[in-house]
Chain A
Amino acid sequence: MTDNNTNHDSGAGAEGPDRVIGTPSPAGESLAGATATAHERRHEGPYPAVETHPRPEEMQRKGEKLAALWFLVAFLAGIGFFVSYFSFPPNAEGEPAIADPQTAQYANMLMGGTIALALFAIGAGMTVWARRVMPHYEVSSPYDELPSSPEEKGSFSDFFMQGAHESGFTKRPLMRRTLLLAMVPLGLAPIVLLRDTGPLPGDKLKHTMWEDGMRMVVEGTDRLIRASDLDEVGGMVTALPESHDPEHGLSLNDQAKTVVLLIKMDPADFSDEMTQQQLDWTHDGIVAYSKICTHVGCPAALYEQTSHRILCPCHQSTFDAANGAKVVFGPAHRALPQLPVRVDDEGYLVAAGDFSSAVGPTFWDAEKGD
């Protein structure tokens, strides 16, 4: 409680320095007791005189002027905002339109700058008001005594338990327990309702649309890839399956799963550790790996041809393209899945089946067969 603050000197003198002009002098007011000091006698504020340190009159006068100046600046800056807003017509309706990034920047600076100035000036004016016009207060007030008294606590506790007894809640356990039981299914209902937010995973995460004979295009184009397109040894191309829906192309979901890095290297560079099967999945030094990092799924987009290393820029997992894309550094654990490739009758590079393992971030049953 702040009650101790109410004992302030309200019988103060007649003409306080901060009397609002035009308000009548309160009637029936007498001078404070003869013992009061001169300062206290003139004090008329909301807080006791000892806790109030008024600013000198001179400072207050200057403070008022300064604050008013800031408020005027704020007003003008506010007007400036409207001017800058209407100086930039929306697109195509005229010049200078904000559709142009450079103009958008300037418009932003003008609109934002004027608003920022207006805000700053109001803040400055208020601060001047608080620090130069208003007194400095050092008011003290007690912290509330937090725990209630033992009597209050005891009384509450009795009251509460008597109520619980009388209502039957404590005395009639059958009713109480069945009520709690009744709540359980209702509590679970909202969770069950979430069931149709998505399909069950099934083995969806383990397969992609790649299948034997599917041709490849360079990512972002419709250009089919021939083995000879990768002739430059050390070359790397990002590829996707050819889409049979030329209007919409491949969905983002399919892109996210099928995207591969096609890397061409000297077949002699393949490590001895690669299995025969892994080597069979290459074609004339061309090897295809999923581009989606097995750590948490960023595209592992950087390829360093001298060391045959694939680097994921997100957390720097590094895979050895010459050795089944095994992890050589970084947080990923699983090798990038390999896509078997071959060449079809017309010389186009095609997949020879789906990936060797699940694509993308490692999950619970990623390494389990079907």
Chain B
Amino acid sequence: MSTTPAPKALRGLGNYIDDRFHLAKTGEKNLRKVFPNHWSFMLGEIALYSFIILLVTGVFLTLWFNPSMGHVVYDGSYERLRGVGMSEAYASTLHITFDVRGGLFIRQVHHWAALIFVASLVIHMLRVFFTGAFRKPREINWLIGVAIFTLAIVEGLFGYSLPDDLPSGMGVRIFQGVLLAIPVIGTYLMMFMFGGEFPGEAIIPRLYTLHILVIPGILLALIVAHFMILWHQKHTQYPGTGRTEKKVVGTPMYPAFAVKAGGFFFFTFAVIAGLAAFVQINPIHLFGPFTPTSITSGLQPDWYMGFLEGALRIFPNWFDFTIAGYAVPMGVLLPGLGGMGLLFGGLAAWPFIEAWITGDKRHHNVADRPRNAPTRTGIGAAGVTAYGLIWLAGSNDILSETFSISLYATTWFFRIAIILGPIIAFIVTKRICLGLQRRDREILEHGYESGTIQQLPSGEFIEVHKESSPDTVHVLQSKPPARIDIDSTDENGVEPPSGRGAKGRLRARLAHWYTKDNVSFEGVRPHSGHHLHHGATASEEESVKAH
């Protein structure tokens, strides 16, 4: 009983498809899918859109790029390098830049999209981390996300290596050095990967296959899986009136979200195209072709490789050792592979570690406000600080140059900062979270400070507190209970066996540490506190601290 009959052609098409697939009901259900409104949900979309842009521009690049390390003497249109010996890969990249109209633009779009792709992945992951959106039932999608992030970095490194310009070849060289450092099998891995000694003639064709076929294929499959799971489980949403663990509120796919998201795709593409048009990126013609014998100082890899570069710079050689004359260069292994392992392994393991500590097996659809999970937020901040410092350490030569500090002093600065920085970040962040919790509690009890000053009959001045909106009250009241009761019994009244033994005690201690400082909102009724007396609030705060 439709109220607005569809135009005939559309109806014909719809019937044609439905006759074959029986899609009317599924189709309607999916078009009605609701997307919660929040700007932070667009971060993942940026990643998706830049991936699409990478696929399209990448295919264009393959039309002209020649992934060969065969030696040629350049005689193309770019005068400055005529007569110079180089690989065909480099020559064809020059060809794309100086002979193919729009070629430079496509290259720059591809490169900018790569930088933005990885950046949006990182920020998207941080959003998911800090809001606890990785919790049950979404752990598997988190793991898929970690895999996408890992592959994206590898994909970017391999793409960066293809044009065979000087910095590009240096990246490959460092990759080779890290491979060689692996105990026992390192030399074999390296010889097989490179088809012989460095640089050989095989590595660029092989990286090319990985870069344009294998890794994008896996990435595409993972991204599709990511979205299918997301579609099925739906987004998390931030607390608010009407938004519950059982009900999601937002914009429906059809007609509104489709148009909004479409518009946002064009905006993302416009920003990347604008950057590619006006901001030069990777000007390989200025760097010259790769030779293993020379280097320019101040080389900077793409930003997402910066943390590896920084780790290789500041990690000392103190832990290198030899067993029976065989060398184990920990100074390469730990920063080169251990750092990656720690980053990706830690990210992958976190949801399970947290669930184990808190014993929380419930489903979560309402996201945490970061302040309400202060330990997690603190750990996240410590991680971000560590990453940021190592990343900065990757530019220590530039910092030393810019600020005229000795190079070695910057290395030492980072060696110390990488230990202290995360600890400080953890403590400070956690304190800020707890402070915000206390303020939330105060607002809930007393309303917010209106800014109006009133004089009491006694002559005292006080600030008038006003009642917060119902929505604010709802958000504040949504705070989960302060502590996890680890010793509690399960549904059947039996003490869980996991509570006993050394592992159980460790868990209990961790659970205590994880939540011990949380501010309890128990028994707080909205706007029940003294509206007028500010002094009471202060002592209230004291008693909260004393808990």
A contact residues vs B (CB 8 Å cutoff): 1-2, 5, 10, 12, 19-20, 23-24, 26, 29, 44, 46-47, 85, 88, 90-92, 97-99, 101, 104-105, 107-109, 111-113, 115-117, 119-120, 122-127, 129-130, 134-144, 146, 194-195, 197-201, 204-205, 219, 238, 240, 248-249, 252-253, 255-257, 259, 291-292, 295-299, 301-302, 313-316, 327, 329-334, 360-368
What are 11 A-B contacts with C-beta separation under 8 Å?
A5-B32, A46-B254, A112-B274, A120-B267, A126-B263, A129-B259, A253-B196, A256-B197, A334-B327, A360-B198, A365-B187
**Quick one: CB contact mask for B1-29 with A, threshold 8 Å, 1 for yes?**
11111000000000000000000000001
Q: Does B294 contact A (CB under 8 A)?
A: yes
Q: Does B251 contact A (CB under 8 A)?
A: yes
| Residue pair B259, A134 in contact (C-beta under 8 Å) | yes
Tell me the complex Cα distance, A136–B195, Å. 60
Q: Does B213 contact A (CB under 8 A)?
A: no
| Residue pair B263, A19 in contact (C-beta under 8 Å) | no
Tell me the complex Cα distance, A44–B2, Å. 11
| Residue pair A140, B34 in contact (C-beta under 8 Å) | yes
Determine the residue in chain A with the shortest Cβ distance to B334: A331
Q: Residues of A contacting B247 with CB < 8 Å?
A: 140-143
Of the candidate stretches B169-177, B338-346, B476-484, the one touching chain A is B169-177
**Quick one: CB contact mask for B259-303 with A, threshold 8 Å, 1 for yes?**
110111111011101101110100001000001111111110000
A112-B274, A140-B34, A365-B187 known; A197 and B192 CB under 8 Å? Answer: yes
| Residue pair A112, B292 in contact (C-beta under 8 Å) | no
Tell me the complex Cα distance, A105–B396, Å. 31
Determine the residue in chain A with the shortest Cβ distance to B107: A108
Q: Residues of A contacting B397 with CB < 8 Å?
A: 313, 316
**Given B104, B109, B251, B315, which contacts A137 in the complex, CB threshold below 8 Å?**
B251
Q: How far is the CB of B159 from chain A (nearest CB, A)?
A: 20
Tell me the complex Cα distance, A29–B246, Å. 35
**Given B104, B197, B200, B294, which contacts A205 in the complex, CB threshold below 8 Å?**
B197
Q: Does B248 contact A (CB under 8 A)?
A: yes
Q: Does B226 contact A (CB under 8 A)?
A: no
Tell me the complex Cα distance, A168–B4, Å. 57
| Residue pair A116, B277 in contact (C-beta under 8 Å) | yes
Determine the residue in chain A with the shortest Cβ distance to B365: A143
**Given B174, B316, B320, which contacts A298 in the complex, CB threshold below 8 Å?**
B174
A238-B293, A364-B187 known; A331 and B198 CB under 8 Å? Answer: no
**Given B99, B193, B293, B313, which contacts A90 in the complex, CB threshold below 8 Å?**
B99
**Given B5, B249, B264, B285, which contacts A138 in the complex, CB threshold below 8 Å?**
B249
**Given A1, A20, A315, A368, which contacts B312 in the complex, CB threshold below 8 Å?**
A315
User: Across the A-B interface, how many residue pairs have beta carbons closer than 8 Å?
Assistant: 337
Q: How far is the CB of A198 from chain B (nearest CB, A)?
A: 4
**Given B105, B199, B276, B309, which contacts A252 in the complex, CB threshold below 8 Å?**
B199
Tell me the complex Cα distance, A9–B264, Å. 31
Q: Which residues of B346-376 are within 8 A (CB) of A?
A: 363, 365
Chain B, interface size: which category? 35 or more
| Residue pair A198, B246 in contact (C-beta under 8 Å) | no
| Residue pair A333, B191 in contact (C-beta under 8 Å) | no
Tell me the complex Cα distance, A127–B263, Å. 6
Tell me the complex Cα distance, A316–B335, Å. 15
| Residue pair A116, B4 in contact (C-beta under 8 Å) | no
| Residue pair B249, A219 in contact (C-beta under 8 Å) | no
Q: How far is the CB of A59 from chain B (nearest CB, A)?
A: 15
Q: Residues of A contacting B547 with CB < 8 Å?
A: none
Determine the residue in chain A with the shortest Cβ distance to B254: A46
Known A10-B1, A99-B98; 6 more pairs at CB < 8 Å: A123-B265, A127-B267, A198-B194, A205-B197, A331-B315, A364-B182
| Residue pair A146, B326 in contact (C-beta under 8 Å) | no
Q: How far is the CB of A113 from chain B (nearest CB, A)?
A: 5
A99-B98, A140-B249, A197-B192 known; A116 and B3 CB under 8 Å? Answer: no
Q: Does B322 contact A (CB under 8 A)?
A: yes
Tell me the complex Cα distance, A277–B333, Å. 32
| Residue pair B98, A98 in contact (C-beta under 8 Å) | yes
Residue in A24, A135, A298, A334 whose Cβ sees the most chain B Cβ within 10 Å? A298
Q: Does B77 contact A (CB under 8 A)?
A: yes
Tell me the complex Cα distance, A298–B173, Å. 7
A313-B295, A364-B186 known; A91 and B317 CB under 8 Å? Answer: no
| Residue pair A297, B274 in contact (C-beta under 8 Å) | no
Q: Does B407 contact A (CB under 8 A)?
A: yes
Q: Residues of B contacting A197 with CB < 8 Å?
A: 192-193, 195, 202
Q: Residues of B contacting A142 with CB < 8 Å?
A: 246-248
| Residue pair B177, A126 in contact (C-beta under 8 Å) | no
Q: How far is the CB of A64 from chain B (nearest CB, A)?
A: 14
